[in-house]
Amino acid sequence: MSSKNKILVFGGLGQLGQCIAEVCRDRGISSVLFLDEFEGNILNPAILEKLFQEQSPDFVINCAAYTAVDKAEDEPGLSEKINKDGAANLARCCDQFKATLIHISTDFVFEGNIPKLLKEEDPAEPINVYGKTKLAGELEIMSLLKEHYILRTSWLYSEFAANFVKTMLKLGSEREELSVITDQIGTPTYGIDLASAILDIITSDHKTYGTYHYSNEGVTSWYDFAKAIFDLSETTVKLYPIPGSAYPTKAIRPAFSVMDKTKIKQTFGIAIPYWRDSLIRCINAIKKKQ
């Protein structure tokens, strides 16, 4: 990457932001500014304009989002403000100051009711508020800014922040038995792998803008994901599979949201690890931090 490339990361203290920071350290990339929700308030155009003027970024990574899926059902207005209006504010600033935007989106933009690999051009028909507001943000970016990459991901976890892997490890150490949903199918994504892919796009000579899918390779259920977490961490807990109907939530989840990653692999030459291999790396990283 050229030393002149300056990167701004919004939502920089969240899970993916911390993963990006880790990969930047590993790669010796220092021209990156990680912004929290106050100094990088995506709902405040005046703050954004001042930031862009001062920093003159070449790339902007938007990890800032309203991600509380069930809570979004009760706070649709706030979810839309952050996921749609915030994304639009960043797109306008990127257009004004000639920066490229990398925006993180979700598999939840799909209905996920058909067991087939989801391609970028497949109809996006979200079934919950979170998915609807994330799709609205995508559409705003597409209409406002040509120089953008939208990366849809799924089931994000890492050694940082709160996520399914860390929750399972905690519950597994506290309880003798657990029940986990077995009829929601998707693919976990290790945040370090996604962060690496983002930086690969930034360092690439290709400027093939548009929407891309990124998760780890393979297919699993939440039950099988949990089983792998316990097996690999040598956690002894009785695990029972249950249908989603036995664990009702406010927001409906896609039943099958496995995304096709052919486009990002072919365009940028990115090698994507198998989900279980990445889970091993994550559990080892968690152990090192303990």
Residues annotated as catalytic (active site), given as ranges? 130
The C-alpha atoms of residue 155 and residue 189 are separated, in whole angstroms, by 6
Residue 47, classed as helix, strand or coil, is: helix
State the CB neighbour count (10 A cutoff) for residue 38: 8
* HSE (side-chain half, CA atoms, 13 Å) at 289: 11
Q: Is 101 exposed, middle or buried (0-12, 13-18, 19+ CB in 10 A)?
A: buried
The C-alpha atoms of residue 170 and residue 174 are separated, in whole angstroms, by 6
How many H helices and E strands in the chain?
10, 12
The C-alpha atoms of residue 93 and residue 248 are separated, in whole angstroms, by 40
CB 170 within 8 A of CB 229: no
Residue type, 118: L
Mind giving me the DSSP string for 134-203? HHHHHHHHHHH-SSEEEEEE-SEE-SSSS-HHHHHHHHHHH-SEEEEE-S-EE--EEHHHHHHHHHHHHH
The C-alpha atoms of residue 229 and residue 207 are separated, in whole angstroms, by 37
The tokens for 55 are 């920093």
Phi-psi region of 246 (alpha: psi -120 to 50; beta: other; left: phi over 0): alpha
